[in-house]
Amino acid sequence: MIFVTVGSQLPFDRLVKMVDNWAENNEEHKIVAQIGDSDCNTLSFSSCPSMSPDEYNQTFNEADLIISHVGMGTIITAIECNKPLLILPRLTNLGEVRNDHQLATAKYFSNYNNITVVNNEDEFLIAMECMVNKSIDIEKQEINAVSDTLICTLQAFVSGS
């Protein structure tokens, strides 16, 4: 199953339409989508504006592939669960977000084993070809933990307060 999530606040119809176009030629794949306040109402897969945390976590765990915007919630969850994640940055010039921090974030997270960044529909289709048709065995990453120095700093700060 493929899980498409664009966060529960702003819509991201450019990504939803890319998935929909792909899905028309790949009907054998089940797709579940959380698409926010979207104008897409004739999609070829099931979708909802937003999910409860339980529903979200369950769908995330069942998914073989996650498709998303460059949202930290999705990125952290995908790293925690070691799930393949395909991300498309939102752009300000298309009115998709307030600033272009998603472009910067995408750059910094593109070196994670499980994360693939795409910037347009052509790259999206190529990435889908690779990710869906090959069984992906992601090497477990050892970078999941919170920094000890950060935790110690916070602990010391609270003790001293």
Partner 1 sequence: MIQVGIKKTVLLISSSGGHWKQLLRTESAFGECEKYYATTCASYSQLVPSGRFYSLPDASRWNKFKLLWQAINVFLLLIRLRPDVVITTGASVGFFALFFAKKMHIKTIWLDSIANAEQVSLSGVKVQPYADLWLTQWEHLAKPGGPCFYGSVL
Chain residues binding partner 1 by CB under 8 A are 7-10, 52-54, 70-77, 79, 98, 101-102, 104-105, 107-108, 143-144, 146-155, 157-159, 161
- Given the DSSP bridges, would you call strands 2-5 and 85-87 parallel, antiparallel or unpaired? unpaired
Compute the least distance from the CB of residue 80 to partner 1, in Å. 9
- Cβ count near 39 (within 10 Å): 9
Tokens of 24: 């028309």
Exposure of 37 by Cβ count < 10 A (0-12 exposed, 13-18 middle, 19+ buried)?
A: exposed
Residue closer to partner 1 (CB basis): 25 or 161: 161
Compute the least distance from the CB of residue 72 to partner 1, in Å. 3
Residue closer to partner 1 (CB basis): 24 or 158: 158
For residue 32, the cross-strand partners are 3, 46
Compute the least distance from the CB of residue 102 to partner 1, in Å. 8
Residue closer to partner 1 (CB basis): 130 or 154: 154
Compute the least distance from the CB of residue 65 to partner 1, in Å. 20
Residue 157: CA count within 13 A, CB half-sphere? 6
C-alpha of 141 from chain center: 18
Residue closer to partner 1 (CB basis): 27 or 80: 80
